[in-house]
Structure 1
Amino acid sequence: MLDIAFDDIDEAALAQLVANETPESRDLEFKRDLPGQEPDNIREFLADVTSLANTNGGDLIFGIEDVDGVAAGLPGVAIANIDNEILRLEQIIRTNVDPRLIGVRIRHIPFAAGNGALLIRIPPGLQPPHRVTFRNSGKFYARTSRGKYELDVHELRHAFVDSSRLPARFRQYHAEGIERARGIDMPFAIMNDPTAVVSTMPLSLFREEREIAITDDHALVPIRPNAYSSIDMMEGVMLHTPVDEATGRVRSFAITYRNGRTDVAWTIGGTRQNQQGQDMKLVFAPSFEEGLITAARATQTRLQQFGVEGPWIVIASVYGVKDHFMIFGDHYQTRPAFKDETLIGELRLDRIEVTGLLPLAKKFWLHFGVHRPENQAFGPPNGLAG
């Protein structure tokens, strides 16, 4: 996969591949011509796509000529109707791969002298291994640095087992994020108030070793900071709000890990006095929702600078919320939460957009025994965050 954001790849970037005599690899494949309508061409195209999806994901580029797997020329491809060709390839992938391959992105890269390249970015499969079903093929493919190959029975068994373990491995990382919020193996904990923890990770996390050069200039910022400090850690960089002198705790922190994931923790409520001077244990839905959107969206923005792409796993939990309630509408009071710690939910998203995070907000409200009002706005007015 090119170490460039998908939307930033242009003719110059492709020409550099040729100038550098870049070889094909486990996550990069060159093709001189687009796949034709012949069954053998379609079958070969699907084998290329699924081999990338079943490995680490990667880029399939049409319009680059190779010699023995090394980029040697940039003739491009002539496409009469670009939109129709993209739709054709999308349809081939959509109808001939099982399980369905989510998150494939295709774009045309025009050349100054005419023609152009067609770039297909294939994410790691959400439910690998993916098989080619075209004309009852039923074959599974993967890749090495020398190209694609068909999986044997032993490799297939391993692939299915490894896929079944993925959810637990993501949740384990999230559980460690909760422990950090509680102060375990940390210089401090989050304030002793209701707290949210959001972990955002690329689906490729366990399939691709990476060590990004994260610094405090590029690390995730904590939620709603009035000021913040940074700490370089073995695992990454943590930015945190000021340490309270009385408690030794903080309101929020964000850890950007060198392997390309984040944990963000912040308080979402506490004890407040009403007009009668009575103590009320409150949780504020906007604090959770705004923090969720900011944490997840900012992760995508920051990590894409280092070539980390989706699909993404977003996991959210809250703790310390027992006996707390929310107030909404005309001062309507929900029932108090009876569970202290809850896994709000887990999402798998091709791209992290505001609307895609709404299911987590709805589950958060249900933790307090009410449905989130359908007419209540979700996210900032312009639909952007982070």
Structure 2
Amino acid sequence: MIHLLDINSIQFSDIEKLIKDAIPESTFLDYKQELPSGKDADKKDFVADLASFANKDGGIIIYGISEKRDDNGGKTGLPDSIVDLPTNTDDHIKRFEDYARSYILPRISQLQVKEIASQDNKKRVLIVKIPKSHDVPHVVRFNSDQRFHRRGNSGKYEMDLPEIRQAFISSGLQMTQIKKFREYRVNQIDQLDTPVKIERTHTLIVHFFPTHTFGEQLYTAKDLQEQRLVPQFLSRVDNHRIHYNLDGTVLSEFPNTNSGESSSYLQLYRSGGIESVDTFYLRPFMGNNIHMGFLCERLLFVIQSYLRYARNLNLSGQFYIGVTLLKVSNFSTIMKERTTSPPQRFDRDLVMIPEVIITDDYQNVDIQIKPLLDMLCNAAGFQHCFFYNTNGRFDQNLLKN
């Protein structure tokens, strides 16, 4: 079934086979003879098609295939022939991506568009692959119009109120699953059930999950290892080792030669998620104090790197961020290195900061995680995170003043 293939592995012969075998349109497959124009009606129809697949189970739209007609001239849903498309498909691909960003909320992650040409380059089709989404329901907002669409066997249709309500409920269940998994992993880490041996000491944990792919097996361990952008460790690690497990790929600091323990690791999940665990960064600074300014700065830095990593995996949309601290009740906390204010402290051993959901807007990560950093500083005994300027941006200069 062509919709199950990776878009980069689809050949022109696969398209010809659809016609030869008379494979009909379905909830996963749609044929279009012409590319959408820049007219409003075509834009609206195009994004409604995308949203309808995302709100169902995903699928493929193939542009450049005409449909057979019945005796009355009606469409049958069966492919007839390949009709040549314009040669400037790059312009259309960019336009498609712009439409999807502009008119669909939340954005559809991992939308893929590719031209496939015959060997003699005389015929070509354009394929749009839409993944199954867990950020459902996606709404099409066009000017003042707002509609929810879903894919059926005979094409797209407008969702009714019960379907829309059920889609929102399903999306909420996904978030509940992520929360439960985070709680489970924190408990396992506390019991030293980790992919590499770590020290039983104060521990910093960050969980980063794309909400729409959680629990899916999208990437092989090889895919994750070959990414040119490596997520940052919580501590500064110059060299690391790589090994593989059932969950994906593990990057870890080289272990201590005596204890065999690593102080930092990254579990890269097949869904594109990350579990980052570190037993070094929370080591007290200036006596028995944890420097909250440096901690906030480092968290911002690593979360930015996780978004870059996700983008490299062609992931976009919404991301779950959870920060947890273990065994910190004995530590005092300070906001700045030079301060006359008395140290504060964490009042509990396990500090699990409530999650925040952010988008792939890399340039504004500091704004999006401010609630998380404020709550982290609350847990450390302070009113809020003191390192945001009057424009609401994280300001490194405030770390020194």
Sort the TM-score into its range (normalised by shorter chain). Answer: 0.5 to 0.7
Identity of paired residues, percent?
Answer: 16
Q: Corresponding residue for 1:270? A: 283
1:314 aligns with 2:320: yes
Q: How many angstroms apart in 2 are the aligned matches of 1:316 and 1:176?
A: 13
Aligned counterpart in structure 1 of residue 369 of structure 2, from 360, 382, 385: 360
1:287 aligns with 2:290: no
Are the structure 2 counterparts of residues 48 and 179 from structure 1 closer, same or farther at C-alpha, using a change threshold of 3 Å?
A: same
Q: Corresponding residue for 1:53? A: 54
Q: Corresponding residue for 1:161? A: 169
Q: Corresponding residue for 1:143? A: 151
Q: In the TM superposition, what is the alpha-carbon distance from 1:66 to its structure 2 partner? A: 5.8
Are the structure 2 counterparts of residues 15 and 65 from structure 1 closer, same or farther at C-alpha, using a change threshold of 3 Å?
A: farther
Query: 8 Å contact 1:191–1:250 — kept in the other structure?
Result: no
1:236 aligns with 2:241: no
Structure 1 segments unaligned to the other structure (5+ residues): 379-386
Are the structure 2 counterparts of residues 144 and 234 from structure 1 closer, same or farther at C-alpha, using a change threshold of 3 Å?
A: farther
Query: 8 Å contact 1:316–1:360 — kept in the other structure?
Result: no
Give 1:178's aligned amino acid: V
Q: How many angstroms apart in 1 are the aligned matches of 2:172 and 2:51?
A: 18
Query: 8 Å contact 2:27–2:151 — kept in the other structure?
Result: yes
1:376 aligns with 2:374: no
Deviates more, 1:233-242 or 1:331-340: 331-340
Q: How many angstroms apart in 1 are the aligned matches of 2:163 and 2:187?
A: 35
Q: In the TM superposition, what is the alpha-carbon distance from 1:319 to its structure 2 partner? A: 0.7
Q: Corresponding residue for 2:217? A: 210
Q: Corresponding residue for 1:102? A: 107
Query: 8 Å contact 1:26–1:145 — kept in the other structure?
Result: yes
Q: How many angstroms apart in 2 are the aligned matches of 1:295 and 1:133?
A: 29
Query: 8 Å contact 1:190–1:266 — kept in the other structure?
Result: no
Q: Corresponding residue for 1:18? A: 15
Q: Corresponding residue for 1:197? A: 206
Are the structure 2 counterparts of residues 361 and 20 from structure 1 closer, same or farther at C-alpha, using a change threshold of 3 Å?
A: farther
CA RMSD, 1 decimal: 4.9
Q: How many angstroms apart in 2 are the aligned matches of 1:339 and 1:69?
A: 67
Query: Equivalent residue of 2:49, what SS?
Result: helix
Query: 8 Å contact 1:235–1:258 — kept in the other structure?
Result: yes
Are the structure 2 counterparts of residues 180 and 366 from structure 1 closer, same or farther at C-alpha, using a change threshold of 3 Å?
A: same
Q: Show the 5 A alignment for 1:44-83.
A: 44-45=45-46, 47-57=48-58, 60=61, 62-65=63-66, 68=77, 72-73=81-82, 75-77=84-86
Aligned counterpart in structure 1 of residue 189 of structure 2, from 181, 186, 189: 181
Larger Rg: 2
Are the structure 2 counterparts of residues 164 and 211 from structure 1 closer, same or farther at C-alpha, using a change threshold of 3 Å?
A: closer
Give 1:243's aligned amino acid: P
User: Could you report, residue by residue, the CA deviation over 1:1-40 in whole angstroms, capped at 9, with x for unpaired residues?
Assistant: 6735xxxx7xx97746535549666555442224569998
Q: How many angstroms apart in 1 are the aligned matches of 2:139 and 2:298?
A: 43
Q: Corresponding residue for 1:382? A: none
Query: 8 Å contact 1:181–1:197 — kept in the other structure?
Result: no
User: Could you report, residue by residue, the CA deviation over 1:230-261 in whole angstroms, capped at 9, with x for unpaired residues?
Assistant: 44323323222233466664321111223443
Query: Equivalent residue of 2:207, what SS?
Result: strand
Query: Equivalent residue of 1:270, what SS?
Result: coil
Are the structure 2 counterparts of residues 330 and 354 from structure 1 closer, same or farther at C-alpha, using a change threshold of 3 Å?
A: farther
Give 1:32's aligned amino acid: Q
Are the structure 2 counterparts of residues 106 and 190 from structure 1 closer, same or farther at C-alpha, using a change threshold of 3 Å?
A: same
Are the structure 2 counterparts of residues 314 and 101 from structure 1 closer, same or farther at C-alpha, using a change threshold of 3 Å?
A: closer
Query: 8 Å contact 2:62–2:126 — kept in the other structure?
Result: yes
Aligned counterpart in structure 2 of residue 128 of structure 1, from 136, 144, 148: 136
Q: Corresponding residue for 1:381? A: none
Q: Corresponding residue for 1:384? A: none
Q: How many angstroms apart in 2 are the aligned matches of 1:132 and 1:359?
A: 24
Aligned counterpart in structure 2 of residue 343 of structure 1, from 353, 365, 378: 353
Q: How many angstroms apart in 2 are the aligned matches of 1:335 and 1:16?
A: 69
Are the structure 2 counterparts of residues 241 and 191 from structure 1 closer, same or farther at C-alpha, using a change threshold of 3 Å?
A: farther
Q: In the TM superposition, what is the alpha-carbon distance from 1:313 to its structure 2 partner? A: 1.4
Are the structure 2 counterparts of residues 372 and 86 from structure 1 closer, same or farther at C-alpha, using a change threshold of 3 Å?
A: same
